[in-house]
Amino acid sequence: MIDIKFLRENPDKVKENIKKKFQFDKLPLVDEVIELDNQRRANQALADNLRAERNKYSKQIGALFAQKKIEEANEMKKLVTEKSEELERLEALETELSEKVTKIMMTIPNIIDDSVPIGKDDSENVEVQRYGEPVVPDFEIPYHTDIMEKLNGIDLDSARRVAGNGFYYLMGDIARLHSAVISYARDFMIDRGFTYCVPPFMIRSNVVTGVMSFAEMDAMMYKIEGEDLYLIGTSEHSMIGKFIDTVIKEEELPKTLTSYSPCFRKEKGAHGIEERGVYRIHQFEKQEMIVVCKPEDSMMWFDKLWQNTVDLFRSMDIPVRTLECCSGDLADLKVKSVDVEAWSPRQKKYFEVGSCSNLGDAQARRLKIRVSAGKNKYFAHTLNNTVVAPPRMLIAFLENNLNEDGSVRIPEVLRPYMGGKEVITPSK
């Protein structure tokens, strides 16, 4: 959510930003919110004047009674009552106008960074750099669930009977590999100076609307029936929410945290062969990283965060590339975003395994996360990035480490988490 003062003083810049995001239907909202804001401010001025008059008259009533001017005092009381009733009406109108302004402001997209490429959708995202040499072996790479099944590592049929589509049982060495990747990612981030955290897996609605747009909320979040609680779609939600309504001393910044959580998402995504298995699912686990920092440091941290993911995947010999998200592909709260994509030898293309986002002060403004610097206070900047999200990451892992005989190599960095195993072998 952008600053209403900025919108008030720069309506053309806000409209130009909306055009860059190809959300032309939102252009009228700028003038609408300015008009509502003018009404709110005028109403507030009337209420302030009325409040001052009422207080002045209230003080005079006591003096009139003391002077035995009963009739004048009673007339003054009637006047105070009238003022109070009018003030009550103005305060109700002020609340109504404030709610309308806030609702519109929460749908107007954040101002994107000047470096963001302009494009309508993800088809116009821009490749930034490749890391590692993509290899296609001279033998056929099976679909990832076929690889897992030959290793007795997945049971989708039982999961469908128990929970429906979009769920899975991971078994044996594949389940162990899944946990090994999470544990390695945790230690990888701790070694880079991040504080490890296991957050709540449910959050209240005010945190949900603080960390994402209404559109994302409707598409992603599972609501707990009868309670003001939602299952998290990523631990970023509760990790940023950790700082709601707080004032952080500037010298305590940055806050750098890495968190583990299960994640729950309603949307399964498009159908087709690449949507089978564990690519798009309702439940998965993830290691996340978040940063709360000073505004002038956020772009520096942005580059550090996506580099962490690149380094993690390269340490497991998985080729990756970074992809700059274009303006039309950015969620409304984001200032800038880079996806990390892993190489798929089977598909002979890259696919997303992580997303790094700089949200500027949008989340901090919604959640009232402020920084104190002496007598001054300002909103912090927040960032988040995926460290690793198995089981999707396992697709890249299995395809890039598969041997022709169906066995899977274990990279050296994961062997301590796999009991020293160097290879996973299919059952005879």
pLDDT in tens, the chain (428 residues): 899 999 999 999 999 999 999 999 999 999 999 999 999 999 989 888 888 877 777 777 767 676 777 777 777 777 777 778 888 888 899 999 999 999 999 999 999 999 999 999 999 999 999 999 999 999 999 999 999 999 999 999 999 999 988 899 999 999 999 999 999 999 999 999 999 999 999 999 999 999 987 777 778 899 999 999 999 999 999 999 999 999 999 999 999 999 999 999 986 454 444 456 788 888 999 999 999 999 999 999 999 999 999 999 999 999 999 999 999 999 999 999 999 999 999 999 999 999 999 999 999 999 999 999 999 999 999 999 999 998 889 999 999 999 999 999 999 999 999 999 999 999 76
Q: What is the CB-side half-sphere exposure of residue 169 using CA atoms within 13 A? A: 13
- The fold of 4-105 is Helix Hairpins (1.10.287)
Pairing mode, strands 126-131 and 320-324 = antiparallel
pTM of the model: 0.89
Distance of CA 390 to the CA centre of its chain: 18
Q: Which of 382, 396, 294 is nearest to 353 (CA)?
A: 396
Domain with CATH 1.10.287.40 in the chain: 4-105
Q: For residue 116, what is the DSSP state?
A: S
Architecture of domain 122-424: 2-Layer Sandwich (3.30)
Cα–Cα distance measured from residue 423 to residue 299, given in angstroms and rounded to the nearest whole number: 40
d(CA 36, CA 95): 12
Asked if 109 and 17 count as a contact pair (C-beta separation under 8 A), the reply is: yes
Pinpoint the residues of the chain covered by CATH 3.30.930.10: 122-424
Question: What is the Cα 249 distance to its own chain's centre?
Answer: 23
Residues present in the chain in total: 428
Q: Give me 329's structure tokens.
A: 């592909």
Cα separations in angstroms, 35 against 61, 93, 134, 146, 328: 39, 14, 55, 59, 27
The alpha carbon dihedral of 339, 340, 344, 350 has a sign of positive
| Contact of 253 with 214, CB cutoff 8 Å | no
Q: In degrees to the nearest 10, what's the CA dihedral of 8, 12, 13, 17?
A: 110
